[in-house]
Amino acid sequence: MWLHHFAWDFYAVRGLRPMRKMGDVIHHQRGDKLDARIKRLGRGNPTSHARAHNSKARRYRPRERHDLGGLRYHPPQPARVVNRPDLVGLPAPVATTPPRASTFRERVLRVEWKLAQRVEVLWGEMKGLDSGEPIPRTIAKSKWRDSKTRKLGLKMPRYCCTEGEAAFVLLLIRYGFDLERVAVDVGEPVELLAPFYQRPSVNVALQRWREHRRLPAFAPMTWQERKP
């Protein structure tokens, strides 16, 4: 056990100091790490402990910060000089970094861009399934401009699909909402297509198909601006 922890617990058992809890830090208030007298110790959390050390670092020079009675201070050493005459005149080696593995989000965006290339063909083949039935408005846009809504930080969700999302919905309709068959058609694993279900625009498009037999609407320019 550290000496200052032992000293604090010694007085805490006798009721002269509060007991240490999980995460508490015992701090040397005067900065001398060798002085573990109880009047030099204080209890706090990691945030207050870091703040105390940072304030001291801004107040004193490096030697004053690290000089503990001449026991731990080590002056900075000069850089080591290596004499290699055999390397004179040779080109410097080019640092090659290994290719960065793409993240899951980047893979999903790549699949969405791949789906976007097929939306025009899918829409032309399936536009005869659209009923043309008018969809009743669920909530007025003015409700999203209310002052209480702005205070809560809520924003109006995007109901219009991107080209990739619209192609995903059209494929789901074609294959009877069988995600595995859609994955085989696209040529991508199912785990890269499942995140599309979490998007509000896809959920709205599927709900409109089930209730009104309307195919998804999409914005042609929105996804072009997000092209990777």
Do residue 221 and residue 126 come from a single domain?
Answer: yes
Which pLDDT tens digits describe the chain residue by residue (228 residues)?
Answer: 888 889 999 999 888 888 988 889 988 877 677 888 888 888 888 888 888 777 766 665 665 655 555 555 566 667 777 788 888 888 877 777 777 778 899 999 999 999 999 999 998 999 888 888 887 776 666 666 677 666 666 665 666 788 899 999 999 999 999 999 999 999 999 999 999 988 888 888 898 899 888 888 887 644 444 444
Exposure string for 129-157, b = 16+ CB within 10 A, e = fewer = eeeeeeeeeeeeeeeeeeeeeeeeeeeee
For residue 124, being part of any structural domain is answered with yes
For residue 81, being part of any structural domain is answered with no
Do residue 109 and residue 21 come from a single domain?
Answer: no
If you ran DSSP here, which 8-state letter would residue 160 be given? S
Do residue 115 and residue 164 come from a single domain?
Answer: yes
Assign 26 to helix, strand or coil. Answer: strand
pLDDT for 34 equals: 82
For residue 80, being part of any structural domain is answered with no
**Would the CA dihedral through 100, 106, 108, 112 be positive or negative?**
negative
Of 32, 15, 107, 16, the residue nearest 3 (C-alpha):
32
pLDDT for 35 equals: 85
Do residue 114 and residue 212 come from a single domain?
Answer: yes
Domain holding 208, by residue range, is 104-131+138-225
For residue 72, being part of any structural domain is answered with no
Q: How many domains does the chain have?
A: 2
For residue 83, being part of any structural domain is answered with no
Do residue 38 and residue 116 come from a single domain?
Answer: no
Locate tokens 């007085």: which residue?
11
Residue type, 211: E
Do residue 110 and residue 208 come from a single domain?
Answer: yes
| Domain stops at, among 41, 66, 91 | 66
pLDDT for 228 equals: 44
| Domain stops at, among 45, 66, 87 | 66
For residue 198, being part of any structural domain is answered with yes
Do residue 25 and residue 108 come from a single domain?
Answer: no
